[in-house]
Amino acid sequence: MADPTQQSAGAQQAQTCRTKIVATLGPASSDYATIRDLALAGADVFRFNFSHGTHEDHAARHAIVRQVEAELGTPIGILADMQGPKLRVGRFAAGSVILQPGATFRFDLSDVPGDEHRVNLPHPEIISAVRPGSRLLMDDGKLAVIVEKVGPDWLETRVDIGGPLSDHKGVNVPDVALPIPALTEKDRKDLAFALDMGVDYVALSFVQRAEDVAQARALVGERAAVLAKLEKPQAVENLDAILELSDAVMVARGDLGVELPPESVPLVQKRIIRAARRLGKPVVVATQMLESMISAPTPTRAEASDVATAVFDGADAVMLSAESAAGKYPREAVRIMNRILWRVEEDAGWQAHMAAARLAPEDYVADAIASAAQQVAATLKAPAIVAYTHRGPTALRIARERPTCPILGITPTHTSARRMALVWGVRAFVSAPHKPTTTAEDVVEVALDVVARAGIGAQGDSVVIAAGVPFGVSGSTNLLRVAHID
């Protein structure tokens, strides 16, 4: 990887917005030219969706992303998204049936192809967990049944919302915590491959409880950061415990919108963002943000407003899924997303909102330093806050303050720099090994050099620097300096 202090003009364009962009790669965005264009258009992190594609596909994309990263000289994060358990009905003799509202319909463990009266449900965990009154949703919530009787290997239900049901359609059980691990055997193989490949974040699907995150953490160790996808009501109920064990979270609104009433999803989004910000952990808002751009060159006005709302809520990042992975206009989707973010962040009303929503510092030294850095930078109208951070926590705590100026995160490792690509307002730089920082004077010299190379500030400006003594030790943030650009 090239020295990120040598960033090109194109790479700087990709870092203009404080709110980051996660772009999913897929059939429409697997070649070098497209991935490079997406990075230049504003993509900070690339998502590899392990629900689709082969290991060879992901390895090829990984190599291209790292090639683009080296060319542009700016850290790019890679997020490996695990598929998680997929709950589905079995097959029908005719391929599909019509469920009539009010009719009785049975689910069982028999492999016999189904008909209008019954179908195989190859998930005994569902049968053992649900109770009379529980709801089962199928085909992304288009159909709904209510459980009336539970047997040892069957469920008798009444159709509440009818319609066509075909082979292998998905099943959601919103009312019950299912005794199903978040990682399947496929996920474990995918996870091992992704870690060996060198991804920066691992996204965990089907999280219901903190134990699901702990299980993934035991497998991942320190090789990647763990991002919990919050897509089930049970995860929202256990939000605080899940956040404590996660490095980042995602508001996965697609599945949340199936299992929760639609009117609840915006409020849940705000609650999750508030809770994640309180702990200083990155939060991504995902699903259907610019969905119309799968087939259209411009988004709807409602979609633009949806993205803007996520920015006003304080999200660290917004995500494109099929828009960039399989749509007709992946480049345009990232460019327009970037334009929306830029326009919102230039708005005085948004800036006032961020200031009003600023959180009180917590009662320990690192947070006091982060809060003070923001206040000093605002008072001096500093063009940047420089955060020396070994593994990222100093930059994370300063980002929690939502300062008006950019945060330049200087770290000794490419791993930490790439993880900071997901963090609000942070531009990451890997410190050059030939410039050791053993004294406060060294810290100031390297910080001013990075500020100059980033093209920020002018002669006479003050730069705020947060670091820790002893230098290079994680979790030691205890130093605040003000330096002047000569």
The residues annotated as belonging to the active site are: 47, 88, 229, 287
Distance in angstroms (rounded) separating the CA atoms of residues 184 and 298 = 38
Write out the two tokens for 82. 């695990």
Query: 271, 239 in Cβ contact below 8 A?
Result: yes
Distance in angstroms (rounded) separating the CA atoms of residues 415 and 371 = 26
Query: 485, 457 in Cβ contact below 8 A?
Result: yes
Query: 292, 300 in Cβ contact below 8 A?
Result: yes
70-71-72-73 Cα dihedral, nearest 10 degrees: 40
Distance in angstroms (rounded) separating the CA atoms of residues 239 and 481 = 37
Tokens 């945060």 locate to: 407
Query: 90, 110 in Cβ contact below 8 A?
Result: no
Query: 39, 70 in Cβ contact below 8 A?
Result: no
Distance in angstroms (rounded) separating the CA atoms of residues 227 and 224 = 9
Neighbouring residues of 112: CB distance < 8 A, sequence distance ≥ 6: 120
DSSP secondary structure code for residue 88 in this structure: B
Distance in angstroms (rounded) separating the CA atoms of residues 49 and 70 = 23
DSSP secondary structure code for residue 192 in this structure: H
Tallying the residues shown for the chain, one arrives at 486
What are the beta bridge partners of residue 79? 47, 201
Write out the two tokens for 315. 């999200």
Q: How many CB atoms lie within 10 A of CB 139?
A: 17
Distance in angstroms (rounded) separating the CA atoms of residues 479 and 476 = 9
